[in-house]
């Protein structure tokens, strides 16, 4: 491990962002938040990157705000911190035009849980857990958790989880639909890599536009969603990857997508 708060590794079209403060269970201090936002934006612009993985070093995924750094902050400064640091990070993750997978290797608490639910996929190890810890320290769930959670697990479950703040063990998270899969700890990295490789082989523009459609669908009615799909299909249908996909189908061979 280096002293960097965030490790960034790009390999075969997959960028892995590793929160690297294992002694503090990857709590988000100012340096880590800046580095993470910068990295999400950079991998978004890098055409060599087709898929992003977010994970934590050591035994935790991320335990949210570094409470040692922020202890004693007043309400006004917490609001500023959210507006200036957390909210741009969550929006950057949602607006990232490539799939992002949370490899939840351990506890995801507070804004660490928010980070995980903002991703497109969550693969969790058996010993992972989700802790909506905000209420315990007299705070409101933030960084999008009140928005994402009802959409993932339904409003009644979300209310139960956020009002009790009880830890959610990985198998329960799977049952609730909070994670896509739970695997043995030793299998997490290979399973995430297998999913990332599959996504990296897909047509990048089609995935980007699919994310746009999914994001938009959460906010509009059916009529507008249909119109938006049609306009995105106009873009996707004009790509070389669409031509390649159809040719590969006809020739009964795997497609070779270039992102063009």
Residues that bind ligand T3D (CB under 6 A): 24-25, 27, 63-68, 70, 73, 78, 81-82, 107, 109-111, 131, 133-134, 137, 139, 142
Phi–psi pair at 227, nearest 5 degrees:
-65, -40
In angstroms, give the least distance from the CB of 43 to ligand T3D: 23
In angstroms, give the least distance from the CB of 167 to ligand T3D: 7
Instruction: Measure the CA–CA gap between 111 and 85, rounded to whole angstroms.
Output: 11
When the beta carbons of 110 and 245 are compared against ligand T3D, the nearer one is 110
Is residue 50 within 8 Å of residue 111, measured between CB atoms? no
Instruction: Measure the CA–CA gap between 230 and 217, rounded to whole angstroms.
Output: 13
When the beta carbons of 67 and 225 are compared against ligand T3D, the nearer one is 67
To 10 degrees, what angle do helices 30-45 and 87-95 make? 20
Residue indicated by tokens 């409470």 = 67
Q: DSSP letter at 108?
A: E
When the beta carbons of 90 and 100 are compared against ligand T3D, the nearer one is 90
Q: Report which of 195, 151, 148 is spatially closest to residue 52, judged by C-alpha positions.
A: 195
Q: Report which of 149, 148, 5 is spatially closest to residue 69, judged by C-alpha positions.
A: 5
In angstroms, give the least distance from the CB of 63 to ligand T3D: 4
In angstroms, give the least distance from the CB of 108 to ligand T3D: 9
In angstroms, give the least distance from the CB of 136 to ligand T3D: 6
When the beta carbons of 15 and 109 are compared against ligand T3D, the nearer one is 109
Instruction: Give the pair of three-digit tokens for residue 251.
Output: 């020739």
Instruction: Measure the CA–CA gap between 210 and 168, rounded to whole angstroms.
Output: 30
Is residue 223 within 8 Å of residue 205, measured between CB atoms? no
When the beta carbons of 136 and 151 are compared against ligand T3D, the nearer one is 136
**What are the DSSP E strand ranges found in 139-256?**
168-169, 181-183
When the beta carbons of 18 and 26 are compared against ligand T3D, the nearer one is 26
In angstroms, give the least distance from the CB of 206 to ligand T3D: 35
């Amino acid at each position: 491990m280096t002293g960097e708060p965030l490790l960034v590794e790009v390999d075969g079209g997959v960028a892995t962002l590793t929160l690297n403060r294992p002694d503090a269970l990857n709590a988000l201090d100012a340096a880590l938040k800046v580095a993470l936002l910068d990295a999400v934006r950079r991998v978004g612009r890098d055409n060599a990157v087709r898929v992003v993985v977010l994970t934590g070093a050591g035994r935790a995924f991320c335990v949210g705000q570094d409470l040692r750094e922020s202890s004693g902050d007043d309400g006004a400064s917490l609001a500023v911190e959210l507006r200036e640091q957390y909210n741009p990070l969550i929006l950057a993750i949602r607006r990232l035009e490539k799939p992002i997978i949370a490899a939840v290797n351990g506890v995801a608490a507070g804004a660490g849980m928010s980070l995980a639910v903002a991703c497109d996929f969550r693969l969790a190890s058996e010993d992972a857990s989700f802790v909506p810890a905000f209420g315990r320290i007299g705070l409101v769930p933030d960084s999008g958790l009140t928005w994402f959670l009802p959409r993932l697990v339904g409003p009644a479950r979300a209310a139960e989880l956020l009002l009790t703040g009880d830890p959610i063990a990985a198998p329960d998270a799977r049952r609730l639909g909070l994670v896509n899969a739970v695997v043995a700890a030793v299998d997490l990295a290979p399973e995430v890599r297998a999913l990332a490789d599959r996504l990296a082989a897909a047509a990048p523009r089609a995935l980007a536009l699919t994310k746009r459609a999914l994001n938009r669908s959460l906010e509009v009615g059916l009529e507008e969603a249909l119109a938006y799909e049609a306009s995105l299909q106009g873009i996707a249908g004009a790509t070389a990857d669409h031509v390649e996909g159809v040719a590969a189908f006809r020739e009964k061979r795997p497609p070779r997508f270039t992102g063009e």
